Structures are given as C-alpha cells and as structure tokens.
Structure 1
Amino acid sequence: MTVISERQTSRAAGWSRRAGAFSAVLLLTVLIGHRYDLVETPAFLWVLGIVALLAAVALLFAGFAFARLWNFGDRGGHDLTTGALLALLVLIPYGIAAYWAATYPPLRDISTDLDDPPALDISTRTKDMNELLSPTPGEQRLQIEAYPLVTGRSYTLPFDRVLEAVKTVLDRRGWQLTAPFPEATGQSDVTVDALAKSFLLGLPADVAIRVTDDGDAVIVDLRSASRYGRYDLGDNAARITDFLAELDQEVAGQVGLAPAE
C-alpha cells in the first residue's frame, strides 16, 4: 500500500507575502503623509529605512519558501511570488537612489555664486538639520564640473521689474516664503528666503534668491541647500536651473518685442 504524504504549506511563503504587502502599504502611507506635512522629515527618513528592511525580509522569506518548495514540494508558490514581487517593487526606488548617489557628486549645497553665496535664512533651521558651511575648493570644483549650467543671471531691466518677475516665478512654483517678500522701493540689494521641496520625496531645502542692482544691470543669484541627507542627488542644481530658466521666460515676456515700424 502506497502512502501519499500531504504537502505542507510553507509558513515562510506566508510571511513573505505579509512582509512585502506591509512594506508597500507603509511606503505609500509615509510618502503621502510626508508630502502633506503629516509626517516630519526625520521620522520620514527613519520609516524609509524600516520599509527597506521589511522588503529585504520579504525577499529572505521568499528565498526560504522557494527552497522548501523546490526540495520538499511545499505549497505556497503564490504567496512567495506575491511577496517577492511586492518587495522588489518597493526596493526599485532605493536602487534608483543608490544609482544616483553613485552618479551625482556628493554635494548638498549649490549656489550660482561660489565666492559669495547668498545668505540663507537660518531662523527656521534646527540642530538635526545639515550644518551650513562655506564650500571647500574641492566642492566648488565638483559643482563647476558637474553643473556648468548653474550660473547667475544679469538683466538690463529696472530693479523693481526683475524683483516682480522673481515673485511671479516663486508663486508659480509654490515655494513657501520663510520671511516677508522684500519691497523694491529704495532697495538695490535684497534677498528672498524660501523653502522648497523635492518633487518625489518632498524633502525640504532652504533657498535664497539674491537680487542686486550693480548700476549697469540687475543680477540674480540663487542658492539651494538640502536640510537633510548627505547628498542631494542633483536636486538643488535642478531646482536652480529650472527656476532661472523660468525667470528668463518671465523677463522676456516683460520685455516683449518692439513693434516694427
């Protein structure tokens, strides 16, 4: 008489599915919460680390379950496949971030004027944020090599019109002012302080926009510094170049074309 043993259901497969699903739900929840300021950035970064750990655990359980399925014929192929796929989907952004970290220079404070960067507003910064330091010669060289388009602008327009163009672009991009917008009357050198956030993760960065009238032209310089993280993964340079490109268009629209006679 032949005895057919009943196949067992792999517990590891079930834990893989649970860990993978929980990591995916936790990632979406914390991303939305941080985007809408329901989760503070330090806690957000810690949760991102926990999410990566959960996804790694889900893959580990999936590996154990697959070994049991292959060697002993255990059931649970659907659960281990679901857990592994969810974990891999969760880990994709981490892989992209790791690639960017290896590709972009290790910088977190970018300015169009390296010799005299615009002063950032430190009144809203806390001790757990990145320290603001003057760029070293090595960091200056890295920025110049990596971001040649990060340069200031010079406009032959009245000071008040350039400042108004800066305000228009600032409002359009939704950056939060950390100090009242300066008045143009009687001024020739003002700095606009704002808080910007990265597109995907919503990580905050301090921004200073300096508008100076040197007598011949009005010069606009920008500085953007990440509040958290060792590297900005190109975020600050992209923020500056995008803002200045939009400012160029706004100023060009104000100048207009002279009518032909």
Structure 2
Amino acid sequence: MAGIMEERRARAADWSRSVSTFALVLFIVSALAHRFALLETVPFLWILGIVGALALAGLLLALLALVQMWEHGLLGLGAAAAGLIVALLVLTPYAISAYRLATHPQLVDISTDPVDPPALRRARDLRSPPMNPVQPPTARERARQEKAYPELTGRRYEYAPETVAAVIQGLLADRGWTVVSGPEPVAEGNALSIEAVAWSYFLGFASDVAIRVEDRANATYVEMRSASRYGRHDLGDNAKRIERFLNDLDTRMESLEAL
C-alpha cells in the first residue's frame, strides 16, 4: 500500500521543497557571512547567482508538480505549496533588484557636486581589481545623474566648518561607518575632507564616501560623494545614502540652532 501511495506522489513536489529550502538557507547564511565580513564580495556574488538559480528551479519544480497533480491526481500538494512559497520568498529580493535596475540610471558614483566631486583619495588605496576604479564622472554620467536626481544638492550652514565637521563625525559614528581619513585640510581651497566606508543595510555591500566641508562666502558648504566598490549599477543606493545622510545632517544642525 505504501508503495502505491509513493508511486502516486508527485516527486517534483518533494524536490521543489528541498531545493527551495536549501536556497533559502544558503541565502541567509551567505548574506550574514558577507555582512559580518566573513565572506568576500566576489564569492558572495557567485553564491547569489547560485541561490537565484536554485530558487528558480524550485519554483519551476513546484509548478510542474501542480500540473502533474492536476492532470494525474498525484499527491504532494503540501510539499509543492511549501516549495512554491519558499521559492517566491527567496526570489523576492531579486525581483526588487530587477525593478530598481530598470528604474534607476546605470551609475555607481554619485555626488552632490558632479562637476567637482569630493576627492576619494584614501579610497584609491583601499581598492584593487576587480573593484571599480576611482575616476572622475564622465559627461554622460553627469547628465544621467542630473536627470535622475535633480534634487540631490549640497548644504549651506551658518556655522564654522569645524562645528559642521564635528556633527558629521557624530552622524558617521551613529551609522557605524568606518572613518578612514579626516577631517583633514584639503590642499586646494579652504576646506576639510572626511572619508569613510559605508555598507548597505542587509547584504553589506561596501561603498566609499567622501564629504567636503568648505568655508566659502562667510558660510559652510557641505558636498558629499558615495561610490560603490563593486558592480556596474548601484540600484539607486548611493543617491539614497546621500539624501538620507544630508537630511539627518539638516536635522542635527537645526537642533543646534534651537539651543
């Protein structure tokens, strides 16, 4: 009797559940390992590709099992449903990334001053192939940024540069970003430069950040730059990072005025 029941079971359903579950576990373990610097970025990117392929296979196996159950009255609905749900769960971040890929310009280096962005001097020493090289934006890249993020601008404050730099350092510390340089004087002009390394919230992809605090016309101007170390598309992360940081800087500078 058990043999008959086994023969009437859609094996694709069990395979779907197993493959999808393995993809989910592999995704979680590798993501945590990369986030806590236990796994390097290039191997992690390969693992992400494998996870996506496994999740897609689990999804197709679940659909195959459902078709077999519909046509031949086979058993295994619970396993097929579990495999389908887990596969869709794993594929959700990929779908979100695909949407952001389609709705954001192909950029990896964003600045509030595209013409004269804050220098990433220390980042040049920290990067090596296959990381993206640090280089000035091309005219095409500047045009793409200005079209996609016209509201992304620097800030002007009626405070001394040292005061603004101190607030910026506090924000960097609160975010857990690693300061690698500064604040130190910039050779050209009356300005201070701060460089740091930031990470994406969950997967931990690194970006180099440069902030220029400049004393100009009896006011302090702040310009910020964020550049991804890997990939050919930042999915909008760098612009969002700059926007959130400068909005928080506005809030803290306003709180100084209230004192």
TM-score by length of 2: 0.90
Aligned length: 251
Report the alpha carbon displacement of residue 79 of structure 1 after superposing the two structures with TM. 1.4
User: Which entry has the higher C-alpha Rg, 1 or 2?
Assistant: 1
For 1:211 and 1:16, how far apart are their aligned partners in 2? 55
For 1:146 and 1:68, how far apart are their aligned partners in 2? 47
**Residue 85 in 1 paired to residue 85 in 2?**
yes
Q: Which amino acid aligns with 1:61?
A: L
Residue 38 (structure 2) aligns with: 38
SS at 2:165 equivalent: helix
For 1:65 and 1:162, how far apart are their aligned partners in 2? 61
SS at 2:125 equivalent: coil
Identity %: 43
Q: 1:53-97 CA deviation, whole Å, 9 max, x = no partner? A: 001111222233223322332222221111111101111111111
For 2:111 and 2:176, how far apart are their aligned partners in 1? 20
Partner residue of 1:130 out of 129, 132, 150: 132
Q: Which amino acid aligns with 1:103?
A: T
Report the alpha carbon displacement of residue 255 of structure 1 after superposing the two structures with TM. 3.0
Residue 233 (structure 1) aligns with: 235
Residue 104 (structure 1) aligns with: 104
Q: Identify, as 1 or 2, the structure richer in helix.
A: 2
Q: Is the 8 A contact 1:159 1:188 kept in 2?
A: no
Q: Which amino acid aligns with 1:141?
A: A
Residue 180 (structure 2) aligns with: 178
For 1:179 and 1:164, how far apart are their aligned partners in 2? 14
Q: Quick check: 45-54 or 212-221, which moved more?
A: 212-221
Q: 1:80-122 CA deviation, whole Å, 9 max, x = no partner? A: 1111111011111111110111111111110011111111121
Q: Is the 8 A contact 1:149 1:241 kept in 2?
A: no
Residue 206 (structure 1) aligns with: 208
SS at 1:179 equivalent: strand
Report the alpha carbon displacement of residue 136 of structure 1 after superposing the two structures with TM. 2.1
For 1:153 and 1:72, how far apart are their aligned partners in 2? 67
Runs of 4+ in 1 over 6 A off after TM superposition: none
For 1:235 and 1:196, how far apart are their aligned partners in 2? 11
TM-score by length of 1: 0.89
For 2:140 and 2:24, how far apart are their aligned partners in 1? 40
Residue 151 (structure 1) aligns with: 153
Q: 1:148-170 CA deviation, whole Å, 9 max, x = no partner? A: 22111122222211211211221
Report the alpha carbon displacement of residue 222 of structure 1 after superposing the two structures with TM. 0.5
SS at 1:182 equivalent: strand
For 1:112 and 1:183, how far apart are their aligned partners in 2? 20
Report the alpha carbon displacement of residue 209 of structure 1 after superposing the two structures with TM. 0.6
Report the alpha carbon displacement of residue 183 of structure 1 after superposing the two structures with TM. 7.5
Q: Is the 8 A contact 1:189 1:211 kept in 2?
A: yes
Q: Is the 8 A contact 1:69 1:75 kept in 2?
A: yes
For 1:248 and 1:10, how far apart are their aligned partners in 2? 60
For 1:66 and 1:164, how far apart are their aligned partners in 2? 61
Which ranges of structure 1 fall in alignment gaps of 5 or more residues? Answer: none
Residue 58 (structure 1) aligns with: 58
Which ranges of structure 2 fall in alignment gaps of 5 or more residues? Answer: none
Report the alpha carbon displacement of residue 201 of structure 1 after superposing the two structures with TM. 2.1
For 2:170 and 2:63, how far apart are their aligned partners in 1? 55
**Residue 250 in 1 paired to residue 256 in 2?**
no
Report the alpha carbon displacement of residue 34 of structure 1 after superposing the two structures with TM. 1.7
Report the alpha carbon displacement of residue 249 of structure 1 after superposing the two structures with TM. 2.0
Q: Quick check: 211-220 or 188-197, which moved more?
A: 211-220
SS at 2:20 equivalent: helix
**Residue 23 in 1 paired to residue 23 in 2?**
yes
